Amino acid sequence: MNTLAKHLPADERRAATVDAVVQLAATQNPSEITTTAIAQHMNLTQGALFRHFPTKEAILQAVMEWVAVQLLARIERAAKGCESPLAAMQAMFMAHADFVAEHPGVPRMMFGELQRAGETLPKRMVQTLLARYGERLRTLIEEGRQAGEIDAGLDAEAAATLFIGTIQGLVMQSMLAGDVERIRRDAPRVFAIYLRGIRSTP
């Protein structure tokens, strides 16, 4: 429980609320996280919580905004300075695995949002995140083709989809095993197989 939350400035209180939701989602069904549970986790009243977020949907929106910003920034930092497009893709893959291992509540929330019927703002934000992620990958794949690293005939759209889908599969396996660190152990071996499928051959 965060005993300091009562005394935080508004921006820090909002950030602390996002952190609280991510922590709670790591140990319980995200759809069952109530504003009461969030407030109790932060040692606040619901009234204090609602001064910063008018609805639970607004809290979920803030969480998804945080996820998008943090994950995209993490993979960009990982790719920056890599000596080749393939090295950048590998760095992104490992950085994404590390992000999930550090924040296991995030994929639980994302999967939950994508399963909700109808359109919601948090769901659209997850879709936008995945679209931007895919665009970044397609750019790297094209650069890799130009550099002769990646098979010239590779379907970039399918390769980007497989990259993201492979990470999602690793996430699901780690969740099913109840071992979040499994994704870190499996990621290098799994990426090596993915790499063999896209790399150009002499």
pLDDT tens readout for residues 148-187: 999 999 999 999 999 999 999 999 999 899 899 999 999 9
Q: Does position 6 have pLDDT exceeding 90, yes or no?
A: no
Mean pLDDT on 78-98? 97
pLDDT band with cut points at 50, 70 and 90 for residue 31: confident
For 139, the token pair is: 């750019």
Q: Hey, CA dihedral for 111, 57, 103, 192, is it positive or negative? A: positive
- CATH superfamily name and code, 57-198: Tetracycline Repressor, domain 2 (1.10.357.10)
5 DSSP 8-state letter: G
Domain spans of the chain, in order of start? 1-54, 57-198
What value does the mean pLDDT take over residues 7-15? Answer: 74
CA distance 108 to 110: 6
Q: Among all chains, which residue has been given the structure tokens 């998008």?
A: 68
pTM: 0.87
pLDDT of 108-146, one tens digit each?
888 877 777 778 887 888 889 999 999 999 999 999 999
Q: How far apart are the first and last CA of the chain?
A: 57
DSSP 199: B
